[in-house]
Structure formats: C-alpha cells, structure tokens
Structure 1
Amino acid sequence: MIGIQSYGAYIPPTRLSFASMAGRPAVEDGPEKAVAWNDEDSVTMAVAAALNCLRGLGREEIDGLFFASTTYPFMEKQGASLIARALDLPRSLRTADYTGSLRAGLSALRGALDAVAAGSARKVLVVASDCRMAAPRSALEMNFGDGAAAFLISADGVIASLESSHAIAEEILDFWRSEGDPYVHTWEDRFVIQEGYLPQMVEAVQGLLHASGTTLADYAKVMLCAPDKRSHGTAARALKLDPTRIQDPLFGKLGSAGAA
C-alpha cells in the first residue's frame, strides 16, 4: 500500500482580526486569519511544516522533495532544493517545484504518489506553503490566510492511502495574478461561483463517487476546498451534504491557505 506515512503543518501564531481590517477595535473570539510575521515567507513556513512532519523519522531514505507554492519569492531559483538543504536531506535527492495554480499542492501530492508507485522513489516529501496577498480592504483580504502543510509519501507505515480520484480541467478567469502584481485579483463574485467553482466542484465530487462506487453517506467526513465561506456553504447545499459530516474549512480562524 502506498500513501501518507507522516504529516505536519505550520500555522503562523500571528492573527489579524476582521474587525481590525475594517478599521474597528478587535473583538475577543471574533473572526480572524493567520498572518505570516515579517521574517516569514512561503519558504520558512515550508521548512517548519516539513520539520514537524519528519519529527522522529530517519531522513536517509527520502529521495524526493516536491515543493508547491504560488508565492515562492524567486521567479527563477528552485525552492525545493533550498528547502532540502535546510532540512539536511541527501544531496542525491530528486527535487521539483509546483506552482502557477492553487492546484499545485494536490498536483505535487499526486506526483509523489505516482513516483513511489512506479518505483522511481522510495519516500517523497511533499511540502505546500503560501502567503497570498490581497488588496487592502478587499473581500479577498479577509479570505486569505497563511500556512504550510507537509506529507511524507511512502509504501511503509501508511496511515492514509488514495483509494480513488477524479479531476476536471476547465479554463475560466476567476482568480489570477500577473507578473509584477503584488495582489491576487478576482472577477465578479457571482460569475466566479456560479460559472466556475460550483458546477466544477459538484461535477468533480459526482465523478469521484461514480468512479469509486460510493455515495456521500459512506463518508464520515467530507472536506470541500472553497475560495470563501459562502461558496463553501453553497457547494455543501448543492451536494446535499449532512452538516454533521462537513469538515470545518477554518474560515474566520485560519483562512484559505492557497496551495497548502
């Protein structure tokens, strides 16, 4: 069996309240998001998540590191090799960067699973990290949060495996950031949700259920990726999900952590 042997995460301890973003005094226990400190970025958070993932494990058998991020500081310089050096991994390591889309994290994870399944790697460390910026006082500013996640993919000591998958590739101008742009941009909200996110999410879930021969009632928990809290609820209702089986998306606590 091939799957996840270990996992780790890093969430910056700094929080920014929604009230503060609106120019009001912060409210105790009010909605907030995680924000990287001024000496943190997608690389430092990736290293922290990876260290958490590898705690108590040997590193000599790790022969691959895949790094996923849409906010890596360099336009031309590999991030995976930089993280590998910080983790003191073997120099013979296979490294790769995944970027350009919030799908980067899942693409890196799937690439690692395929590499181990094909026998071209024994263990692959997958690290996803993002610090996305939105224009001040925009709706996106409240939705974005910073964080990183790491998974060690192996055929040994597997605690979770991939049983089935279904993917859709569709072109739509919903969220984008051009070269030189400091902020992520988005198209009109209703268009993004009604023509982009919602139909694709429903089709993907239904395709997975068909491929695996299961129903939503067979799952104890369902986690939906969404750009914001409202669209998350819209997708859950469209799929007729039992509210008790929906995994908390952490909006108002962490925020959308991009590729992570």
Structure 2
Amino acid sequence: MVGIITYGVYIPRYRIKVEEIARVWGANASDITGGLGVFEKSVPDMDEDAATIAVEAARNALRRRAINPEEIGAVYVGSESHPYAVKPTACTVGEAIGATPVMTAADYEFACKAGTAAIQTCMGMVKSGMIKYGLAIGSDVSQGAPGDALEYTAAAGGAAFIIGNDDPIATLNHTCSFTTDTPDFWRREGQDYPRHGGRFTGDPGYFKHVKGASRLMFEQMKTTAKDYTYAVFHQPNAKFPQKVAKDLGFSMEQIKPGLAVPRLGNTYSGASPIGLAATLDIAKPGDHIFVCSFGSGAGSDAFDITVTDAIKDKINRAAAPSVEKLLANPIYLDYAKYAKHKGKLVMQA
C-alpha cells in the first residue's frame, strides 16, 4: 500500500495579532476576529521564503525517520509564492537534503492546493514503481495587500510528506479531485499581491469544490463522515472549514486537532498539509482520516487515509517539533516590524 513514510512541518516563530493590523487600518478588531475566527498569524523572518520553509519541513521529516535521501526519486514543491518565476524551488530542496542528482523535480502551482497535488503525483509514481520515495511539500509565504481583507490571514508555513510503500505510517487508500474554471482569486505575472472576487470566494469557490470532492470520495469509498476519526479541510479562516465540516456531517471533535488556523493564519499551500500533520501528531493506529484541500481557480483534492501500526515503531515523532510546539512561544511584531519582514517597507538607496 502506498502511504506516508514520514512527515515534517516548519512554521516561523514570528507572529502578528489581527488586532494590531486592524489598529493600523482603523478597522474593528472584534468584527474581524469574530468574522474570521483568526486571532494571529505567522510571519516569515526577513531571510525566510517558500524555499527555506520547504527545506526545513523536509529536514524535519527526515529527522523523524532514517530515510536515505538518495532514494528520494521525486521532489515536488507546491506554492503560490515561489521565490523565482524561473528557477525551481524543488531543485533547491533536493540539493539541501541530499536527494540530487538522480531525481525528478518540479514546482507546482494551483493556489492553495498545490501541495496536495504534489502528494497525488508522488502516490502515482510510487504505485507505478517509477520511484521508491517521493517528497511532496506545500509551502508558502502568502501575500495580502496592505489594508486588504487577505492581510489579516495571509501567513507563512509548510509541511512535507515522504511517500512510499514500505511500512507507511498511514496508507493513502484513495484520492479524487473536483475541478472547474472558477476565477475567485488570481494574481497576474509581475503583480505583488493577489486579487479576489469577494463574494465568489465562498460560493462558487470554496464550498462548491470542497463539497464536490468530499461527496465524490464518500461515493467512491462507500463512506460517510461518521466513518472517519478525524477530518482536515483547507482553512483560509476558521469559519469556512467548520461550516463545510458541519454541512458534510463531521463534528467539531473530528476537525479540532487539525484546525490550526486561529493561531497560524492561512498558509495557503501549507494549510491542509499542516492540518494533516497536526492530526498525525496525535493519531493512533487504526484512525481513519479524511482530508480535503482547496485551491482557488478552482479545485479540491480529497484523500482517504488510515493510520497504521508503523506510527508506533517506524517513526520517532518526538525527533522533530510537532505543530503544537511550533505554534508555542511566538515572538509578536508590531505592524512596522511586520511590514519590514514582509518587504512592504523597502529602504531606498
């Protein structure tokens, strides 16, 4: 069975509170936190980007299990904030962890679901016998224009998964996708910040696609929400995943372990992968996990996952920081320092 061999996460330690952003723009902080369910978000350090975050997440995955990096035959990095328009992030990651030169590498883009698309590709390549291990990463230092609604949630972080078929800690039983041409969110080449369709973000964007992929999974696997121990949904804010979970029949107890967004913000391509990692941090053999990502533009990838006995003795979860540990002990920034970290303030020569 193809599955997750090991996994790792990286989240920058810096944070800014939503109320600090609201203070600068004269907004009502309680309205924003109440409407979004997000109270603070992660901020990259000035020398951090999607590539460095991807490298750290991959290294944390390797710390948990003794995998020979030279046996990783594919590295795919999903992001909408790759540091170069023409220069793959995946090559940098492969070199940093010692997977080069015998590997295939590529950068993926599909808004916030590029990381799960990378997982699907690795699943297929492992199952076909083309590679022994594949490394799939979702990593972002997401963008939001000053004063825009996105600025309150656009965060930084990433998760890495090594996919293989020898004693996986969790089997990837099935995956399916639901995709349409829905322009709810976009950023043209050369633009610093994305734009969004406002009222189209929920429907026909997020809810149509997440429900579409989820119900397709239920149909193909002959399951319902009650058959799963945990569920993880893309989390652009805290309200959307809670609503879609309720609409599909999941309880708050099922989604709570993977709901990192209130203290993390929206890490875009890293959002649902980090939620899955947080769930694996506390999962036990036999647990059944449902995952559904979402990427504007628009599409969703759903996964049916079963945790195996290997999570007890084939992996050392304590060898790398858990999501909960990475969220602890933050360093808070005021808006001026946040703007400097995000490159919104640039010193003129």
Smaller-chain TM-score bracket: over 0.9
1:33 aligns to 2:13 (yes or no): no
- The match for 2:12 is 12
What is the match of residue 242 of structure 1?
A: 251
Cα separation, 2, equivalents of 1:240 and 1:216: 5
Return the TM-score normalized by structure 1: 0.92
1:47 is aligned to 55
State whether structure 2 residue 122 is matched by structure 1 residue 112: yes
CA distance in 1, matches of 2:98, 2:74: 13
Q: Does 1:78 align with 2:111?
A: no
The answer to whether structure 1 residue 92 and structure 2 residue 86 are counterparts is no
RMSD (Å), alpha carbons: 1.8
Secondary structure class of the residue paired with 1:223: strand
Q: Does 1:192 align with 2:192?
A: no
Task: Give the Cα separation in 2 of the matches to 1:178 and 1:51.
Answer: 32
* Aligned length in residues: 255
Shift of 1:236: 2.4
Shift of 1:149: 0.7
In the TM superposition, what whole-angstrom CA distance separates every residue of 1:218-249 from its partner, at most 9, and x where no partner exists?
11111111422222233123223222222342
Match of 1:173 among 183, 193, 201: 183
Find the residue that maps to 1:148 and give its secondary structure.
strand
Partners in 1 of 2:112 and 2:72 — Cα distance?
25
Taking the TM superposition and a 5 Å limit, the aligned residue runs for 1:222-237 are 222-237=231-246
Among all aligned residue pairs of Structure 1 and Structure 2, give the percentage whose two residues are the same amino acid.
Answer: 31
Report SS of the residue matched to 2:174.
coil
Deviation string 1:173-210 (CA, Å, 9 cap, x unpaired) is: 11111111111211123x32122221222222111111
Between stretches 175-184 and 228-237, larger displacement belongs to 228-237
Q: Is 1:132–1:183's contact at 8 Å kept on the other side of the alignment?
A: no
Segment drifting more, 133-142 vs 247-256: 247-256
4+ residue runs of structure 1 moved beyond 6 angstroms?
A: none
**5+ long unaligned stretches in structure 1:** none
Q: Comparing both structures, which one devotes a greater share of its residues to helix?
A: 2
Q: Which amino acid aligns with 2:19?
A: A
Using the TM superposition, give the Cα deviation of residue 53 of structure 1 relative to its aligned residue in structure 2, in angstroms: 0.6
Of Structure 1 and Structure 2, the greater strand share is in 2
Aligned-partner residue type, residue 118 of structure 1: S
What SS is found at the alignment partner of 1:107? helix
Q: Any idea what SS the aligned residue of 1:95 has?
A: strand
Q: 1:219 aligns with which of 209, 214, 228?
A: 228
